[in-house]
Structure 1
């Protein structure tokens, strides 16, 4: 699957990592629902770091459709809230 981190670019990521990423996504969703700004900031950074570690960057000139779009590292809690679905940032 192709994942886009807003403001950074795209990475190819194996579907086998979705369960691991969903754990962080669930934490992020709970922190957003509780208004936990510091927890949200920490978990968002952890989620993006994990995607960068597990993914392979695509060339800058490559424009493939992204199955997942994640917020930039400096996104606010309100901005991320607007991106969320009922499943969080990562469906499943």
Structure 2
């Protein structure tokens, strides 16, 4: 799975990490849905950290992204506009 963080680059995550990624994404979706700014920051940071733990795709390689995450400085209000009921990561 290839995940892009806007303004930062792409990361390759093994398929076997998809379930773990979805759990982290679900926590973020719950915080955003509840408008819980205190939970949003740590949940979004955890999602970004998890994605960044993957293999960084070199900038000179272009791949279709399976998921695109907003920049790390995104606010709760901005995230609310992006998240559907399924979170940022489909699945």
Is 2:50 the counterpart of 1:57? no
- Give distance in 1, aligned partners of 2:25 and 2:76: 13
**Superposed displacement of residue 42, structure 1:** 0.7
Aligned-pair Cα RMSD in Å: 1.1
1:3 equivalenced with 2:9 (yes/no): no
Aligned structure 1 segments of 4 or more residues deviating by more than 2 angstroms: none
1:1-92 aligned within 5 A: 1-53=1-53, 55-92=54-91
* Separation in structure 2 between the aligned mates of residue 30 and residue 22 of structure 1, nearest angstrom: 12
Q: TM-score, normalised by structure 2?
A: 0.91
Unaligned runs of 5+ in 2: none
Work out the number of aligned pairs and report it. 91
- Shift of residue 85 of structure 1? 2.3
